[in-house]
Amino acid sequence: MARKDLLDIASLHREEIEFLLDQSTSFKKLFTRSVKKIPALEGKSVLMLFYEASTRTHSSFEVAAKRLSAEVTNFNVDHSSITKGESVRETIETLQAMRTDYIVVRHSHSGLPGMIARQTTASVINAGDGAHEHPTQALLDAFTIKEKFPDPRGKKVLIIGDILHSRVARSTSTLLQKLGVEVAYLGPGSLVPKYVPASIPRFTDYEAAMAWAPDVVYLLRVQMERQDVQFFPSVREYHRVYGITNTRLAEISDRGLYIMHPGPVNRGVELCDAVMDYERSLITNQVENGISVRMAVLDWLTPGGEFPKQEAYAAQQRAGSPVTMP
Amino acid sequence: MLLLQNARIASENSPVLLEGDVLIVEGKIQDIGSNLTIPESARVIDARGRILMPAMFDAHVHFRAPGFENKETITTGSEAAINGGITGVVMMPNTRPALDSATAVATVLENAKDRSRIPVYTSGCVTKNREGKELAEIEGMRELGVKMLTDDGDTTGDPAVLLRAMQYATEFGMFFASHCEVPELAGPRALNEGVMSYRLGIKGSPACAEEIIIDRDIRLARAAGAHVHIQHVSSKLGMETIRWWKSRGDVKVTAEVAPHHLLFTDEHIGDYDTNYKMNPPLRTQADCDALLEGLIEGVFDLIATDHAPHTPFEKAQDFISAPNGITGLDTALVSLYHFFVEPGKFGWDLVVKRYSAEPRRLMGLPVAAIEVGQQANCVLFDTEAETTFTKEFMKSKSQNTPFIDQTLKGRVDLVILGTEILLER
């Protein structure tokens, strides 16, 4: 099935996920060759539309697109007006007029990439929208886990940290579950809401979470800047209660667990310095795999065709729903 | 002179419909009975068993003028009301400038005289510019007929300010309408906190943000000896809080519920559909069920739409950027019939009591009953027909409602106010 856009993990089928992960393996093999570039997207254009600051994801996409021989353009977002919805709508019309083939978008407003996708012929890739989804991060996480566990079914991943504000937690947990991996959340009660999906065990106590016997410990970045009201008293306390301290690292090492982190890490908060040198830390593998996974995504999507207008989409959404309610 | 034959007449007092003819002379109901003689000069309309009921009254609408005439005007808003079988409304004061002075209120009422075919009443702000700080000049507004004071759109944040306002204005016979929400808990997004807010990745507003202010404002009213009217209740515990205070009987509290809170849940938002974005937000099925229970039981004195128009352009933004609000005047009565009366959840007597009689009582107005001697103020409603809410059908300037292009059972065929037939389909 051809797809125009990659907006979320929730709507991806298992077959599509496995296809993408297989493709990523092939693309990764290119990296050891002296010429890493292939002509798959020659003559195609990729527009980078980042309303939120990002170094890693932005450059990962850029490298991926260039290795596929695509032209990459950065759309310079006027940061002074990014909070105004009006300017986003006008930007969408501008984007459509430019007729680029791919748009990679990051925005603090959940759902906004979907809106762009419905109003452009370009393939839209969600590079993170609010606390909603970050699908390529989930794909690279799954790819990294599969490198260690070729059959990941039944393996357990413990995601630690700020679940409430994390699009990574949402996308990665959804994807891992689709691959048969068990996922649990651990974090402060104020950041792991009680209404997370029932299929995800919720821990607020580190010892209890470790008793669940995870195979991978996945640390989320603590985002102090997203906290309008304090969610925990201090980073020192966070580190002591939920962080990977030296003592905890020793236990993790004894058990042979892997550690992952989407980056950038806060040393002394989510983890102690020693984690960075830990032999089963997959943090740099994740960065490396980000490129091959994003190449696979760009190569897979099919731009063009008819796009339904926003209004038509809304009408179609409603067609079956509320007014036929009980 | 107008003779309506073979109508089924609804009243607030009985679920049983009275079959008969109604004779209207010079805008007044002169006779009700079976097989009335046809006066020579009378126009005769055969109702063919359609429902004749007192016209509705909506005590919570946003007509956006002055300041936001791109969304709605007094003309388009009042025509939307007529379209939905409503012959009187109370405007909320969150216009620009806000209706916080006699001057602002006078301008609106003056405009309404020329631009509306139905009476338009307005509430006034509790505080200047709805900022929750300085008291508005309340008595000046009262002189112009304002009875309801509210900072609707927001809670009057500082309880000391509200308490003083209550102590002050109660002496003038005015009452307070409260939009209930702790701003620090609710945050800027109109989305219930729960499974959906997690799935959509948007900070939610917990139901307790509403429950707390409902309780707070009733306690303040009790302390001040004031009458508080709780607006657009959206939560189960909010309803139960009001029920508990009413059972005590030592404070004057009334409350309203909006059709959309009875009908929709946050699940309907689906993939960020902004037509389901309003404040207070849609919550869960358990809340809908409790609100319906509260309506039937009488915890809610009235139904009001909180008609809140926004332009298609504004609503076509992403969910976070789009403004809060849902229109309701064009659709309310038909939707109440389709979802509640027709399936037997409640009768026409409840509709008449809660959406016609009680809102008028709240505002100190005469009740529009279909009785001899009363002013003709009624609606003829066809339960066999259907209404499709196309853009063309809607008279509101905005169509931010999930009912757009949907077909529901029931149709408003005739709206009569005094000597005028305001609408005839």
ipTM of the complex: 0.92
Q: Is B185 on the interface with A (CB under 8 A)?
A: no
The helices-and-strands tally (H runs, E runs) of chain B is 14, 16
CB B370 within 8 A of CB B53: yes
Question: Which chain B residues have a beta carbon less than 8 Å from that of A195?
Answer: 193-195, 197-198
Q: Do B318 and A318 touch (CB under 8 A)?
A: no
Select from B370, B371, B392 the least CA-distant residue to B379.
Answer: B370
**Does pLDDT of A195 surpass 60?**
yes
Note the pLDDT of residue A76.
77
Q: Mind telling me how many Å the CA of A167 is from chain B's nearest CA? A: 7
Residue contact A111–B319, C-beta within 8 A: yes
pLDDT tens digits, A255-281: 999 999 999 999 999 999 999 999 999
Cβ–Cβ below 8 Å for A89 and B316: yes
B208-253 pLDDT tens trace: 999 999 999 999 999 999 999 999 999 999 999 999 999 999 999 9
User: Which pLDDT value is given to residue A316?
Assistant: 67
Residue of A nearest to B322 (CA): A85
Question: What pLDDT, on the 0 to 100 scale, is given for residue A96?
Answer: 85
Name the least confident of B113-122, B309-318, B330-339, B415-424.
Answer: B309-318
Our measurement of the distance from residue B354's CA atom to the centroid of its chain's CA atoms, rounded to an integer in Å, reads: 10
Whether residues B263 and A322 touch (CB distance < 8 A) is answered with yes
Out of B187, B273, B312, closest to residue A317 by CB: B273
Region A218-236: what's the mean pLDDT?
83
- Beta-bridged to residue B407, according to DSSP, are B388
Taking CB atoms and an 8 Å cutoff, what residues of chain B touch A167? Answer: 201
Closest in A89, A170, A317 to B201, CB measured: A170
Q: In terms of DSSP H, where are the helices of B171-255?
A: 183-186, 195-200, 207-224, 236-248
Mean pLDDT value across residues A99-123: 93
Residue B335 has pLDDT above 90, yes or no: yes
User: Does residue B265 carry a pLDDT above 50?
Assistant: yes
* Active site (catalytic) residues of B: 306
The pLDDT value recorded for residue A309 is 63
Q: What is the mean pLDDT of chain A?
A: 91
pLDDT at A2: 82
Band the pLDDT of B146: cuts 50, 70, 90: very high
Residue A78 has pLDDT above 80, yes or no: no
Which DSSP category does B223 fall into?
A: H
Rounded Cα gap, residues A160 and A2, in angstroms: 35
Phi, psi of B303 (to 5 degrees): -100, 135
Of A79-93, A293-307, B171-185, the least confident: A79-93
B320 touches chain A (CB under 8 A): yes
Please list every residue in chain B whose beta carbon sits closer than 8 Å to the beta carbon of residue A197: 195, 198
Alpha-carbon distance of B337 to B199, in angstroms, equals: 33
Residue A325's pLDDT is: 44
Task: Tell me the count of A-B CB pairs closer than 8 A.
Answer: 95
Cβ atoms B304, B60 nearer than 8 A? yes
pLDDT digits (tens, 9 = 90+) for A79-104: 545 555 556 778 888 888 888 999 99
pLDDT of residue A304: 84
Q: CB-based contact (8 Å) between B284 and chain A?
A: no
Q: What is the average pLDDT across B83-107?
A: 97
Distance CA(B342)–CA(A192), nearest Å, equals 44
Q: Which residue has the tokens 């979907």?
A: A114
The DSSP symbol for B158 reads -
Chain A CB within 8 Å of residue B404 CB:
yes
Phi then psi for residue A283, to 5 deg, are: -60, -45
Does residue A148 sit in helix, strand or coil? Answer: helix
pLDDT at A13 over 70: yes
Cβ of A318 within 8 Å of Cβ of B273? The answer is yes
Neighbours of B139 (CB within 10 A): 14
User: Which value, to the nearest 10 degrees, does the dihedral of the CA atoms of residues A248, A249, A253, A257 take?
Assistant: 80
Determine the average pLDDT of the residues in B305-323. 94
The rounded distance, in Å, linking the Cα atoms of A65 and A86 is: 29
3-state secondary structure of A13: coil
For the entire predicted model, the pTM comes to 0.94
Considering only alpha carbons, which residue of chain B is nearest residue A92? B317
Mean pLDDT of B285-300: 98
Across residues A187-207, what is the average pLDDT? 97
pLDDT of A228: 66
- In this prediction, residues A1-10 reach a mean pLDDT of 91
Q: Give the pLDDT band of residue B187 (cuts 50, 70, 90).
A: confident
Shortest distance, CA A281 to any CA of chain B (angstroms): 29
| Cβ pair A111:B271 closer than 8 A | yes
C-alpha–C-alpha distance, residues B322 and B310, integer Å = 9
- For the stretch A154-175, pLDDT in tens is 999 999 999 999 999 999 999 9
> What do you get for the CA distance between the two ends of chain B, in Å?
19
pLDDT of residue B120: 98
Q: How far is CA A205 from CA A182, A186, A187, A241, in A?
A: 18, 7, 8, 8
Assess whether pLDDT exceeds 90 at residue A307: no
Cβ burial of B293 (10 Å; 0-12, 13-18, 19+) is middle
- Nearest residue, CB atoms, A130 vs list B202, B275, B314: B202
CB contact under 8 A, A129 and B201: yes
Burial level of B383, CB count in 10 A (0-12/13-18/19+)? Answer: middle
pLDDT at A98: 86
